[in-house]
Structures are given as C-alpha cells and as structure tokens.
A and B are shown apart, each in its own frame.
Chain A
Amino acid sequence: DADVTQTPRNRITKTGKRIMLECSQTKGHDRMYWYRQDPGLGLRLIYYSFDVKDINKGEISDGYSVSRQAQAKFSLSLESAIPNQTALYFCATGRGGTDTQYFGPGTRLTVL
C-alpha cells in the first residue's frame, strides 16, 4: 500500500461548489503539507502542519482552508471553487531536520 494516499485522484466541479481533498499517510510523520502545481511553475505551498494542533498558511492560502483531523490525516477544502483553482494538488509528509518530503500521487482538480 502507498505510504501517502490522496482522494479523489481526479475531480471535475463547477464554480462556487465546495470541494474537499483528503490526504492520509502511514509513514508516522508529524509534518504534512498541501501544494498546488501549475504548468510551468514550481510547486507552491498552500498550507502546512507540523503537528495536529499546528496549522500554518503557505504562500497561496487565500481561497483554501485545511483541517488536521489526526496525525495521519490532513484535508484541504475549497469553500467556493473558482476556475483559477484548476491545478494538480499534492499532499506531502515529512520529519524535521532536513525535512525530505514524501509526496502523494496528486489530485487533478478541474473547476468549470
């Protein structure tokens, strides 16, 4: 089984809809991250969490919210989706120190 899983893998939705992307991990890492990837751009950090009670905004948090339900679960919500949120979304986990990150397979989100 994969160490970092994301659901759904693909989602098409309409403008204004609420969307939740879920991430689960079995690596036992405290740190979890949400990124989005757009063509021609590097991954950009949306939110990150260093433990269950710690939530921090990344560089592009506007229009997104997160919930860290447990050490193993970190969900990303789009309260009212808009077309420019169409992107590939990645969840990642990591430890402290050098903090190599382990990425999930990604969720391809299309907002019409």
Chain B
Amino acid sequence: KNQVEQSPQSLIILEGKNCTLQCNYTVSPFSNLRWYKQDTGRGPVSLTIMTFSENTKSNGRYTATLDADTKQSSLHITASQLSDSASYICVVSANTGGFKTIFGAGTRLFVKA
C-alpha cells in the first residue's frame, strides 16, 4: 500500500533554533517528492521538489534531502523564525500511467519567541 508517514506530528522550538522534520514513504514506483508549507487557514505552498536523482534541494533556510534507497526524506529548517510556524507536508508521487500522489498528514511546527 502506498503510504507517506511524517514525524514528529508536532514540534515546538525556540526562535533561532534549527529543526529537522522526517518523511518515510512506501510509494512505488517513485517519481518525485515535494515538501509543502501550509499556514493556518491557507492552502499549501510548495517549498521544494526532488526527483530520484537528487539528494538535496534548498530554498532559502529550507533544505530537503532525499534517500531514495531507504525511501526517506527530511526537511531541515535553519535559524527558525516565528513565521515558520506552520504545517509541513511531505508529498510523494508515483510514476504510473495514471495520477498517483500521496500526501502525508504533516508536521505541525510551532516557533516560540
């Protein structure tokens, strides 16, 4: 069964600290993996996208890594800001004839002053 599991479910950190969010998936055959940021009351916004051959992708203070062998990805946030408080969603797409995209449940990040 195609699944995307994220950990932790929620996380509280102090402003200025770094954090790492995890994503494990069983989606196959793998096509690409994306991280989205979802602010409360808004739709998700894409942060990064990685295909099979990419190990890392950065977008400002956000750096995503991908290990396609172990089917794991992480999102590292550097020097967190209050505006980073949001849900972070891992999304994995399968390379099938149809459309197959699985969303993780997300990690809820709270950044405190």
Contact = CB atoms under 8 A, between A and B. Distances in A.
Interface of A: 4, 35, 40-45, 48, 50, 56, 90, 92, 98-106
Given A106-B42, A106-B43, A56 B103 contact: no
Main SS of the interface on chain B? strand
B89 A99 contact: no
Interface of B: 4, 32, 34, 41-46, 49, 51, 89, 93, 98-99, 101-106
A93 B112 CA distance: 33
A103 B43 contact: yes
Ranked nearest first, the 9 interchain pairs of A and B with the lowest CB-CB distance are A103-B43, A42-B103, A43-B103, A100-B46, A42-B105, A103-B44, A42-B104, A90-B43, A104-B43
Main SS of the interface on chain A? strand
10 contacts: A43-B89, A45-B101, A48-B99, A98-B32, A99-B101, A100-B46, A100-B49, A101-B46, A103-B45, A105-B41
B99 A56 contact: yes
Contacts, number: 44
Given A35-B103, A42-B104, A98-B32, 12 more contacts: A41-B105, A42-B4, A42-B89, A44-B103, A90-B44, A92-B43, A100-B49, A101-B44, A101-B46, A103-B45, A105-B42, A106-B42
Nearest to A99: B93
A40 B104 CA distance: 10
B49 to A, nearest CB: 5
